[in-house]
Structure 1
Amino acid sequence: MLIFENGLSMHQQMILEEIPQDISRANNLNEFPTKLSFDEAARRLVNYNKATKEKPQQAASLVPESSSCLSTLRYSMSRLEKAVVSMVEVFEEYATKDDKKQQLSGAELAELMRKELASPEFQGKVEPAVLQEAMTNLDKNHDGEINFREFSMFLATLARGYYRARNKGKGNKGKPDKPE
């Protein structure tokens, strides 16, 4: 597989180059540039993703459903890859709210948990005791803040609690992997 200087495979590079053309055709924009540098295309994709999070309906109107290249780019990652990217993006989003950009303060962690663990299904599956255990064990180096390593361990604890609750009453699946 050929990898370009920007780290993209030939297929990904072709998809990235097709995005502006699809947007231009979909919105009848004759003056829209059809050739963009990688940096400019990446910047526009980041802005599009931010707009999608903030105003999903408005952002969705920018690109038609039939835009095959954007769909391919958006869905080219596996579910696990998307989960890892999401985990990093969530940490960075909340950790960058103060001067310590690689750490979550207690207030940032509380806000993250309030906003990101709010769905009724998730809250119904993870017992409050599991959340409390995770919170108690988070700050391994006792510096009063949570680094990415500690945050990763927190997410692993949440995932384990969710798995156990989801599989409760289904034989051995809901039991811990090892005695605790």
Structure 2
Amino acid sequence: VLDHLDDLQALGINGLYFCPIFTAASNHKYDTIDYLNVDPAFGDKVLFTKLIQAAHQRGMRVMLDAVFNHMGFGSMQWQDVLRNGEASRFASWFHIYQTPVTPFHNPLKNAGQPQYDTFAFEEKMPKLNTANPDVQEYLLTVATYWIKTFDIDAWRLDVANEVDHHFWKRFYATVT
């Protein structure tokens, strides 16, 4: 993208929208492992900084896409839950029905259902409990980090209808 900003500007493009750029296991990157890092498939923070600065010099705004409804299976928080179950400091971050949580459900044991809420029945994307104040604080830290550190201009928020409404009020107050 950085190498083609002049071409984009010549086309009249004044905004860049990036699907999730955060560290994730899949190609689609909606299974975030680390919200505070750029996935190596896209470069690194130094390259992202150059991109933002170059876009802003051309009058272009930059919007990042994030999903605050669920995390990736490989996230530090979910892995802690798998290791420590109810004793995990992150256990209340998710909607867990039965412990210990097994990495992938056993259809004979769990009647074909995971032991926790997921996004779109995808076991690798455990749903966050966005009503939890600790989850809210973490996500607000993520949102402000990318604004303050990299000067992004906007957020696009995936699956917003499945996130606690009170959180969105806090999010709006925090980022505006």
TM-score by length of 1: 0.24
Q: Which has the higher helix share?
A: 1
Higher RCO by CA contacts (8 Å cutoff, separation 6 or greater): 2
Structure number with greater Rg is 1
